[in-house]
């Protein structure tokens, strides 16, 4: 469903992606792992068109992702940002049903609010959260609101950018379970970026290791521990010794 | 110091300045074009109207009233040197309407509104809220920039008009209460002296300054660097640029309206 072919991207002298190839079949959950600054978020933003690759091709359902109706393309995606990226000026329910309050998917405000409350309940938040502002919520609650917003329009493809970063282990577990449930229930195609190995095991069908601007290894999560790939092994063990330099 | 290196540095600075002018120009054209192209965001426009217009009234009013009062005192004191104290109503009126009203309101808007727009949009950028807007099929130029630019274009001329009236009122109060002017004569002289062109120039300047203030805030916000330092730098640069451009535009517009 999503295919990246020889995608490159540099920022000045820093060559972040150096010919990245990746394929994510429809309805599966792909988790990309890799050290900080290896270009995981850049890859994700290239697919969404938030960053323009220097070269290479990205296909979604066999079609060039850079061509065609941009709004229709983006309407197929939901995204949970690392810091949730909630709009400070809007109450929680308007954040969740943002798409339903404006643009081509616009619905009456009462209906949009009902959907928002339903999605909030889906991610384990009570309805009284709906009228609060993002600044009044804890980090974990903001992440869950971000998750509710990502799934509000029931997208076919969902991206999760470090969904558990900065959360305690219990909240991380809750978010991981939610993501797995949502992806399974909605039948969506998911791409997740994380450093958190417990998230990888909870969320992934397939795993890809990004290092040096290319995918070093990819395969089913069940084969990850026996991959034999030195990069994956070092990442799983968290060892300072190995092909991934500790000082970057 | 090597003169060639100094010349090279100067050249780079000039090129960089010209590039920035070009980028701001392209951004301005893009921002204005989005005002006329759907989808429109009436709620965001209404919020911007309140922030730029209504909530700026106190600061504009206070600035104008104190300036009008001080102007009356200055003209009276200066005019006394050659027995021309009687011109206070006329000079206060012309000074406020042609120059001080639009310029001071423009600068206050640059301080209050440009900084607020730049800081808000820059913070949205560094916290990925702008990326989130895009993923929610919402064009940031339409959702963030167009409502603010349109609101400033409409409300700043009104603020200038209100500032002009309050400034003249400040001069009137000082002149009639402290300087012994007759109230009716003062008002008569003010009304008789002002021409339509004075008022039109004031409002046109207001529109131009509103446009500059909003566009500079949006431009620097959208192009902010990372982190708190990036937000701070964007805010500072937006206010500096807006203030300088407002003063330059004032000079040009004064030349256009009143060159002999």
State how far the Cα of A124 lies from the Cα of A151, in Å rounded to an integer.
14
Q: Which of residues 100-139 of B touch A (CB under 8 A)?
A: 123-124, 127-129, 131-132, 134-138
- If you measure CA to CA, which chain A residue comes closest to B38? A103
Q: Map residue A10 onto helix, strand or coil.
A: strand
State how far the Cα of B101 lies from the Cα of B41, in Å rounded to an integer.
31
Q: What is the pTM of this model?
A: 0.88
Write the pLDDT tens digit of every residue in B36-72: 998 899 999 999 999 999 999 999 999 999 999 999 9
State how far the Cα of B215 lies from the Cα of A123, in Å rounded to an integer.
39
Among B126, B77, B105, which residue's Cα sits nearest to residue B208? B105
Q: Map residue B147 onto helix, strand or coil.
A: helix
Predicted pLDDT of residue A248:
57
Please state, as a whole number, how many other Cβ atoms lie within 10 Å of the Cβ of residue A164. 25
Question: Residue A34 corresponds to which tokens in the numbers above?
Answer: 């890799």
Q: Cα dihedral angle (A176, A178, A179, A183), rounded to 10 degrees?
A: 140
User: Residue written as tokens 């090597």?
Assistant: B2
Please state, as a whole number, how many other Cβ atoms lie within 10 Å of the Cβ of residue A211. 20
Q: What is the DSSP letter of A23?
A: E
State how far the Cα of A41 lies from the Cα of A39, in Å rounded to an integer.
6
Confidence of residue B194 (pLDDT cuts 50, 70, 90): very high
User: What are the structural domain ranges in chain A?
Assistant: 87-154
| Mean pLDDT calculated for residue range A185-204 | 91
Q: Which long-range contacts (CB under 8 A, 24 or more apart) does A125-129 make?
A: A129/A92
**Residue B136: its chain A contacts at CB < 8 A?**
74, 98-99, 149
Write the pLDDT tens digit of every residue in A124-168: 899 999 999 999 998 889 999 999 999 888 899 999 999 888 778
Q: Residue A118 belongs to what H/E stretch?
A: helix A109-122
For chain B, say whether A21 makes contact (Cβ under 8 Å).
no
Write the pLDDT tens digit of every residue in B67-124: 999 999 999 999 888 888 899 999 999 999 999 999 999 999 999 999 999 999 999 9
Distance of alpha carbon A235 from the chain centroid: 20
Question: Residue B161 corresponds to which tokens in the numbers above?
Answer: 């008009």
Predicted pLDDT of residue A122:
86
State how far the Cα of B84 lies from the Cα of B80, in Å rounded to an integer.
6
| Mean pLDDT calculated for residue range A36-63 | 92
Predicted pLDDT of residue A196:
87
**pLDDT at residue B218 greater than cutoff 90:** yes
**Residue A99: its chain B contacts at CB < 8 A?**
136-137
């Amino acid at each position: 469903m999503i295919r990246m072919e020889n995608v490159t991207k540099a920022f000045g002298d820093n060559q972040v992606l150096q010919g990245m190839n990746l394929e994510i079949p429809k309805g599966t959950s792909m988790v990309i792992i890799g050290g900080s600054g290896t270009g995981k978020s850049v890859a994700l933003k290239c697919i969404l068109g938030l960053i323009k690759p220097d070269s290479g091709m990205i296909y979604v359902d066999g079609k060039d992702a850079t061509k065609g109706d941009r709004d229709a393309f983006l309407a197929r995606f939901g995204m949970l940002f690392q810091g949730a990226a909630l709009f400070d000026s809007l109450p929680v329910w308007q954040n969740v049903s943002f798409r339903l309050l404006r643009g081509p998917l616009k619905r009456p405000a009462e209906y949009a609010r009902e959907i928002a409350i339903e999605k909030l309940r889906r991610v384990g938040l009570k309805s009284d959260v709906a009228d609060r502002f993002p600044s009044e919520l804890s980090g974990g609650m903001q992440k869950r609101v971000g998750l509710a917003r990502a799934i509000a329009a029931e997208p076919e493809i969902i991206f999760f950018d470090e969904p558990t970063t900065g959360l305690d282990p219990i909240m991380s577990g809750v978010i991981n379970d939610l993501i797995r449930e949502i992806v399974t229930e909605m039948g969506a195609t998911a791409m997740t970026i994380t450093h958190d190995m417990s998230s990888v095991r909870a969320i992934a069908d397939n795993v890809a290791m990004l290092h040096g601007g290319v995918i070093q290894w990819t395969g089913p999560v069940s084969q990850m521990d026996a991959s034999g790939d030195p990069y994956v092994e070092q990442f799983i063990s968290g060892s300072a010794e190995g092909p991934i330099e500790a000082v970057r | 110091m090597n003169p060639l290196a100094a010349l090279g540095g100067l050249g780079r600075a000039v090129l960089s300045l010209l590039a920035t002018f070009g980028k701001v120009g392209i951004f301005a054209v893009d921002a204005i074009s989005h005002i006329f192209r759907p989808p429109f965001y009436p709620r965001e426009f209404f919020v911007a109207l309140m922030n730029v217009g209504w909530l700026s009234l106190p600061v504009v009013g206070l600035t104008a009233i104190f300036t009008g009062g001080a102007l009356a005192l200055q003209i009276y004191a200066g005019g006394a040197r050659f027995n021309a104290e009687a011109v206070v109503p006329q000079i206060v009126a012309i000074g406020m309407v042609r120059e001080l009203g639009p310029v001071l309101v423009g600068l206050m808007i640059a301080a209050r509104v440009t900084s607020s727009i730049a800081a808000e949009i820059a913070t949205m950028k560094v916290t990925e809220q702008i990326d989130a807007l895009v993923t929610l099929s919402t064009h940031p130029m339409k959702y963030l920039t167009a409502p603010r630019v349109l609101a400033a274009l409409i409300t700043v001329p009104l603020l200038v008009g209100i500032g002009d009236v309050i400034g003249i009122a400040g001069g009137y109060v000082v002149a009639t209460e402290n300087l012994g002017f007759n109230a009716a004569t003062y008002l008569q002289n003010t009304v008789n002296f002002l021409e339509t062109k004075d008022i039109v120039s004031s409002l046109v300047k207001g529109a131009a300054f509103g446009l500059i203030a909003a566009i500079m805030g949006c431009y620097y916000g959208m192009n902010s660097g990372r982190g708190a330092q990036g937000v701070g730098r964007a805010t500072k640069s937006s206010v500096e640029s807006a203030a300088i451009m407002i003063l330059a535009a004032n000079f040009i517009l004064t030349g256009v309206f009143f060159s002999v």
